[in-house]
């Protein structure tokens, strides 16, 4: 069976997208593992299905490279919005997309006849430990000391539709993220796994971040992770509320604003190539 796909990315966070408004994709979890392999497959951080929705322009289902299904991806949802706009399914500057974390609203950035990016209303962060979830006491986990992999860290935990653990460090470029990310995943603190952000504060409106995502390992960018990093920085008094903060990632930059009622994330959406997959 042959299925057409579009390879898209937001700041290098790349997924293989299938139009399930026209086609049926069999066994998506197995397909994600097969196609995400960068040597024996197409290569990507996972696959995304663009599906029909009764409450929004479309529904996004995403599968990580290990086959696990994720709830939300800030970079992927911008690409879904681009696909819906460019393909003519929803030729509007405001597009809603249903996700496992609720309906998200995108304000599309248009250049000529194409969408080039979007600002996404990501919703408010969730701070309650049991709702993230993280196995630590208290009403919030902000700057909480823990021991992970034999070392002491101060962590801030929150959910932006999926669980995040933010660690502020003086420098992040030389970190062994494979090892560190594995240590946090296996720490026993996170019953559903975790995305771990290692963040360096460059200034009151600028952060540098590397991220180890559950199910995918280190990725070049993480939209929900960038949002989590800014929210954590605001909670720690390192950045100001309702201010645009640039988050520098290995694949590019995202702009995040932690507004009084929600979090807004702005970034690009780009097509890498199209093709047909044998499934």
Q: Given 3-state DSSP classes, what are the helix, strand and coil percentages for the chain, each rounded to the nearest 5?
A: 15, 45, 40
Catalytic residue from among 11, 73, 79, 165 = 73
Radius of gyration of the chain from its Cα atoms, rounded to whole angstroms: 18
Strand 94-99 and strand 58-64: the pairing is parallel
73 is catalytic: yes
For the annotated binding site for substrate, the residues are 13, 64, 74-75, 162, 195, 213-214, 223-224
79 labelled catalytic: no
Beta strands in the chain (DSSP E): 2-10, 13-19, 46-51, 58-64, 69-70, 94-99, 102-111, 114-121, 141-148, 151-159, 163-168, 195-203, 206-213, 217-219, 244-249, 252-258, 263-268, 270-278
Q: Which residues are annotated as a binding site?
A: 13, 64, 74-75, 162, 195, 213-214, 223-224
Catalytically annotated residue among 79, 90, 222, 227: 222
* The residue to which tokens 């998200």 are assigned: 104
Q: Enumerate the active-site residues.
A: 73, 222
């Amino acid at each position: 069976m042959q299925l057409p796909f579009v390879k898209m990315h937001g700041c290098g966070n790349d997924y293989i997208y299938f139009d399930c408004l026209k086609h049926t994709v069999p066994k998506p979890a197995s397909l994600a593992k097969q196609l995400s392999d960068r040597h024996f497959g197409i290569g990507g951080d996972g696959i995304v299905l663009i599906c029909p929705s009764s409450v929004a322009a479309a529904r996004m289902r995403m599968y990580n490279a290990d086959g696990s299904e994720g709830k939300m991806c800030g970079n992927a949802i911008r690409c879904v919005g681009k696909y819906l706009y460019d393909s003519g399914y929803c030729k509007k500057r405001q597009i809603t997309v249903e996700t496992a974390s609720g309906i998200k609203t995108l304000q599309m950035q248009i250049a000529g006849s194409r969408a080039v990016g979007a600002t996404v209303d990501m919703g408010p962060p969730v701070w309650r430990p049991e709702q993230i979830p993280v196995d630590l006491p208290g009403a919030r986990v902000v700057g909480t000391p823990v021991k992970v992999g034999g070392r002491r860290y101060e962590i801030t935990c929150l959910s932006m539709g999926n669980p995040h653990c933010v660690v502020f460090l003086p420098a992040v470029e030389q970190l062994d993220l494979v090892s560190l990310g594995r240590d946090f995943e296996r720490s026993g603190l996170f019953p559903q796994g975790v995305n771990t952000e290692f963040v360096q504060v460059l200034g009151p409106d600028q952060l540098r971040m590397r991220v180890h995502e559950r199910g995918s390992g280190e990725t070049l960018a993480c939209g929900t992770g960038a949002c989590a990093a800014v929210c954590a920085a605001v909670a720690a008094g390192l950045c100001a509320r309702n201010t645009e903060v640039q988050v520098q990632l290995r694949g590019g930059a995202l702009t995040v604003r932690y507004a009084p009622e929600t979090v807004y994330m702005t970034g690009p959406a780009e097509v890498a190539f199209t093709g047909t997959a044998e499934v």
